[in-house]
Amino acid sequence: MKQEYFERKDKELFCEGVAVKEAAREFGTPLYLYSASHIKERYNNFEEALKGYPHDICFAVKACSNIHILELFARAGSGFDIVSGCELRRVIDAGGDPKKCVYAGVGKSAEEIELAIEKEILYFGVESVPELERINAIAAKLGKTARIALRVNPDVDAHTHEYITTGKSENKFGLTADYAEKILKNFKEKYPNVEAVGLQIHIGSQITETEPYKKAVLKAAEFVKKLRAQGTELKYFDIGGGLGIVYKDETVATPAELIKEILPTIAELGMTFVCEMGRYMVGNSSMLITKVEYVKENPDKTFVIVDAAMNDLIRPALYEAYHEIVAVEDKDETFVCDVVGPVCESGDFFRKDCQIPKVGEGDLLAICSAGAYGFTMSSNYNSRNRAAEVLVEGDKMKLIRKRETYEDQVRNEKTCR
């Protein structure tokens, strides 16, 4: 277990000053339990690494979008990376500054673009010409100027899972440099209501080394120089997100190491540094706490069936992602088992053939590193109510999302009668 702010004291698991058992007793299971101190520390690691250099750190909202979590970032002065109109609304509800929002995604709707222009976001990360035309038309209608950063695909391999690599030329994201260059020619005449202010790259997720970033930044920097020679000046150099976390035994570059490798290249260009980290900020801020329902002993296999399922945390089923599992209270013995949920799919597992403490019915397990792409990817599959979320700071617990009820699930159906 390598999550800061989660530790064992007196034979049981604590999140900061709160006994996990107590949180489960008060709020039930499955339960997402977050450490506020962890999140603050992670944000500060980037602030520290960038101190003295013009920068915007934009938290990628899709990793963990609870408005109380966003509020922690807003208070720290963070910007936000958004991918939908409702993410922008979450940021605003959380007290975040829309003017510090950057907006990514290949399919922005007209309504979403209109909202973002009205709220004067920092820039749109533009992924195609039709999108740019749409942004220009909507800005014209509103009598405004929209800012954009072109998302350029640097065609580097981030050495990560194929579902989460985004910077290779076969991915659906971004534009090739050649095409971006063409778009920027006579830009003002073509798009009078749009100002091109930046260049954005984003090469993937759970990247553990600095090398892919360095390669991508060097390529993008060459491109910036080429554009300058043609008279196009861009202010923001946006490296995207993607820095990894420790799930198992990975060695992961720190923000300081990453910044040291790439900032000189960006500083040489005199551009403002922007990053859009999601997983790094929150991935290890949370554990999903779950209760053992049954221990099922088949002749050749033992299944620990818990009350959390793939609808609560889909990463193992979707990406074969590794999540460590620990017992909330110490046990003397261990056993080898599959930890599975109640959903009617063979893909509904958290770990297979793993050695964990020998738990029984009613015992609590903690599924580690669940803070990023955990709750935000949860669903009501099998008509399961989504989990509660609780934020811990010191010895204080705060419910930040009530457990869903059956009535919550069917509200929008019943009103159709």
Ligand X SMILES: *Cc1c(COP(=O)(O)O)cnc(C)c1O
* Contacts with ligand X, residue ranges (CB under 6 A): 60, 62-63, 81, 104, 202, 205, 240-242, 276-280, 372
Minimum CB separation of residue 241 from ligand X in Å reads 3
Minimum CB separation of residue 154 from ligand X in Å reads 13
Minimum CB separation of residue 326 from ligand X in Å reads 24
Q: Which is nearer to ligand X, 98 or 241 (CB)?
A: 241
Kindly report the number of other CB atoms within 10 A of residue 390's CB atom.
Answer: 23
Minimum CB separation of residue 414 from ligand X in Å reads 35
Q: Which is nearer to ligand X, 104 or 356 (CB)?
A: 104
Catalytic choice (64, 337, 344, 354): 344
Q: Judge whether 416 counts as a catalytic residue.
A: no
Minimum CB separation of residue 337 from ligand X in Å reads 30
CA dist 173 and 403 (Å) reads 35
Q: Which is nearer to ligand X, 154 or 341 (CB)?
A: 154
CA dist 124 and 111 (Å) reads 14
CA dist 67 and 73 (Å) reads 10
Which residues are known to be catalytic?
344
